[in-house]
């Protein structure tokens, strides 16, 4: 028996003496107690889902919150904010989508692919990345050896089927797609394809698959550098021009999608480009990190943190080599040095005669 059903049973047992308590002729009392119990039982699943996580809890998705988070917490990725929201809203609002949602996040290191996946999970599932319905698969950790690809295929099939049968609205995040053993993702084809489920079969069409990779990152960077050199605004970069760039990368680079049936059968619904981050975005990441750690915030500190990173291309030094990835340790370093400097100034001042 499910935990929820056990709870319902417990409530009925606890309430049973009250049903018999009033005199039998007092029909009004009996009726009102009965109504109360039925109302309690009906609302019990909602109550239960209020305190814990339920697959069928339709209210757990917070689209307005997702929109706000993508807008204010993700820096320099206008194409990501626009497209991710559109893709998810369309899929979540559709009671019977005709296929599972498959999104590929492509781009340079430290541009926010894991960060955005985490934000999505937090706004669709009550427990975010810790949800029982969110599965993070990291290529080098879960599937390290090309020679074991046949074993991995069985494991992956089993994971997806077991999870979706428990909760149709399951989410799978595949990190380091470019390091997946070749041929492995082909097993996902039946789950991503336009198959109506047979009677009694598992319906995969409500599930969400997100693939993260650096594939096409250098092509995206080259396109963004060209755009920058042409003096055009970053926000004018359109999803369509980047789409072509990423697809080229997916075809050329020997990553996990290389010649996979997911690409060849056009089963990835959206390729979302993560653009290389500029110094101004690095400063915003520094500010967010300083606030998170409870440090004072100032332009001087943002600049000190930004100065700690390397930028490309060599002649222009516009885009961060490591994106916002090393910001946390750089903030610690800069704050540590500032504190040491403050202490030495304090000592120097207190040593002065008079």
Ligand X SMILES: Nc1ncnc2c1ncn2[C@@H]1O[C@H](COP(=O)(O)OP(=O)(O)OP(=O)(O)O)[C@@H](O)[C@H]1O
**Residues in binding site for ATP:** 107-114
Query: Is the Cβ–Cβ distance between 299 and 103 less than 8 Å?
Result: no
**Closest CB 187 distance from Mg ion, rounded Å:** 23
Q: Which two tokens stand for residue 176?
A: 């380091």
Is residue 114 part of the contact set for Mg ion (CB under 5 A)?
yes
Buried b (16+ CB within 10 A) or exposed e, 139-150: beebbeeeeebe
* Contacting ligand X within 196-225 (CB under 6 A): 214
Cβ proximity to Mg ion: between 118 and 189 the closer is 118
Binding of ligand X by 76 (CB under 6 A)? yes
List 29, 67, 109, 332, residue binding ligand X (CB under 6 A):
109
Pick the piece of the chain touching Mg ion (CB under 5 A) from 113-121, 142-150, 221-229, 312-320.
113-121
Minimum CB separation from Mg ion for residue 113, in Å? 5
- Could you tell me the CA-to-CA distances from 56 to 15, 49, 53, 126, 227 in Å, in that order? 27, 9, 9, 12, 45
Q: Which lies closer to ligand X via its Cβ, residue 26 or residue 218?
A: 218
SS3 content of the chain, % helix, strand, coil (to 5): 60, 10, 30
CB environment 308-336: b (16+ within 10 A), e (fewer):
bbebeeeeeebbbebbbbbbeebbeebbe
> Which span sits near ligand X by CB under 6 A: 72-80, 124-132, 191-199, 240-248?
72-80
Q: Tell me which residue of 50, 44, 54, 57 sits closest to 7, measured CA to CA.
A: 44
| Cα angle for residues 213, 215, 217 (degrees, 5° grid) | 105
Distance CA 306, CA 300 (A): 10
**To the nearest whole angstrom, how small is the minimum distance from the Cβ of residue 101 to ligand X?**
20
Q: With binding defined as CB under 6 A, does residue 321 bind ligand X?
A: no
Binding residue for ligand X, selected from 29, 40, 45, 114, defined by CB under 6 A: 114
- Pick the closer one to ligand X by CB: 153 or 304: 304
Answer whether 156's CB lies under 8 Å from 184's CB.
Answer: yes
Nearest to 115 by CA among 98, 128, 101: 128
Instruction: Answer yes or no whether residue 249 interacts with ligand X by CB under 6 A.
Output: no
Yes or no: say if 45 and 4 are a contact pair by the CB < 8 Å rule.
yes
Q: Which stretch binds ligand X (CB under 6 A): 69-77, 219-227, 239-247, 309-317?
A: 69-77
**Residue with smaller CB distance to ligand X, 83 or 214:** 214
Q: How far is the CB of 139 from ligand X (least distance, A)?
A: 11
Assess 115 for contact with ligand X (CB under 6 A): yes
Give residues in contact with Mg ion (CB under 5 A): 113-114
Residues that bind ligand X (CB under 6 A): 74-77, 109-115, 214, 274, 285, 323-325, 327
């Amino acid at each position: 028996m499910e935990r929820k059903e056990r709870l319902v049973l417990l409530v009925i047992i606890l309430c049973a003496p009250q049903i018999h308590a009033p005199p039998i002729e007092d029909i009004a009392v009996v009726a009102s107690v009965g109504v109360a119990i039925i109302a309690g039982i009906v609302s019990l699943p909602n109550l239960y889902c209020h305190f814990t996580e339920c697959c069928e809890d339709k209210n757990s998705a917070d689209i307005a919150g997702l929109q706000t988070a993508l807008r204010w917490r993700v820096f320099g990725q206008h194409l990501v904010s626009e497209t991710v929201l559109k893709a998810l809203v369309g899929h979540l609002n559709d009671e019977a989508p005709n296929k599972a949602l498959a999104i590929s996040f492509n781009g340079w290191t430290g541009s926010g692919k894991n960060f955005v996946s985490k934000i999505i999970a937090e706004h669709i599932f009550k427990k975010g990345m810790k949800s029982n319905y969110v599965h993070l698969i990291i290529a080098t950790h879960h599937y390290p050896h090309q020679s074991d690809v046949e074993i991995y295929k069985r494991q992956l099939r089993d994971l997806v089927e077991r999870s979706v049968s428990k909760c149709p609205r399951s989410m799978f995040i595949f990190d380091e797609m470019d390091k997946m053993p070749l041929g492995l993702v082909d097993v996902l084809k039946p789950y991503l394809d336009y198959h109506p489920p047979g009677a009694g079969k598992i319906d995969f069409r409500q599930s969400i698959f997100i693939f993260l990779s650096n594939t096409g990152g250098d092509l995206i960077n080259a396109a963004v550098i060209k755009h920058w050199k042409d003096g055009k605004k970053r926000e004018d970069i359109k999803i369509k021009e980047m789409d072509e760039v990423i697809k080229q990368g997916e075809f050329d680079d020997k990553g996990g999608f290389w010649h996979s049936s997911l690409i060849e059968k056009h089963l990835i619904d959206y390729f979302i480009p993560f653009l290389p981050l500029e110094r101004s975005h690095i400063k915003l990441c520094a500010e967010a990190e300083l606030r998170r750690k409870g440090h004072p915030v100032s332009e001087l500190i943002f600049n000190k943190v930004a100065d700690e990173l390397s930028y490309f291309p060599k002649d222009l030094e516009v885009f961060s080599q490591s994106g916002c990835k090393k910001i946390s340790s750089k903030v610690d370093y800069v704050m540590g040095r500032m504190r040491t400097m403050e202490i030495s100034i304090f000592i120097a001042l207190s040593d002065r005669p008079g």
